Copies of this chain bind each other. A is one copy, B any other.
Amino acid sequence: MKQTHFGAHLCLDGYGGSISCLNSKDTIKNALYELPQILGMERITRPKVKHCTPRNLKDSGGYSGFVIIAESHISIHTFSKKGFLTADVYTCQSKLAKGKIISYFKRTFCLKSVEINYIKRGLSFPKQDLY
């Protein structure tokens, strides 16, 4: 396939999730291991997941997780008491298996609905090295 842009980026915001899954460090870490495998992306770091303490009415706490893929990344932030999750899957491949990613998140965190933004990144990415 002719590459006409740098990469593909899926932003997923999910609602009505399971408080126990959204509040599970292991579930989030596991997702950061599984998703790159499912999508054929090469991890170059181990996933890092950090607990976020409650800060105010809006941010009532959760977890933030991240993994660096070869020149791209996956991130997951959860707000367990709000049933909310906001995730990014960014690949330098020209497209992403959107359906597979959406199903994975819905299933893993028992999300009732999702909101998707899908962006083609780097529309003028050079085909050759410049330097």
Contact surface of A with B, Cβ cutoff 8 Å: 3, 6-7, 9, 11, 13, 15-16, 19, 44-45, 48, 50, 52, 55, 57-60, 62, 64, 66, 68, 70-73, 75, 77, 79-84, 86, 88, 90, 92, 113, 115, 117, 119, 121-131
Contact = CB atoms under 8 A, between A and B. Distances in A.
Contacts of A52: 44, 70-71
A71 B62 contact: yes
Copies of this protein, total: 2
Contacts of A66: 66, 68, 73
Contact of A3 (B44, B48, B58, B123): B58
Given A57-B128, A58-B127, A75-B75, 4 more contacts: A59-B71, A80-B131, A81-B129, A83-B130
A86 B7 contact: yes
A119 B121 CA distance: 13
Contacts of A11: 9, 119, 121
A66 B75 CA distance: 10
24 contacts: A6-B84, A6-B86, A7-B86, A11-B119, A13-B122, A15-B124, A16-B130, A45-B48, A52-B70, A52-B71, A58-B127, A59-B92, A62-B71, A64-B68, A64-B73, A66-B66, A66-B73, A73-B75, A82-B129, A82-B130, A83-B130, A86-B121, A113-B124, A117-B121
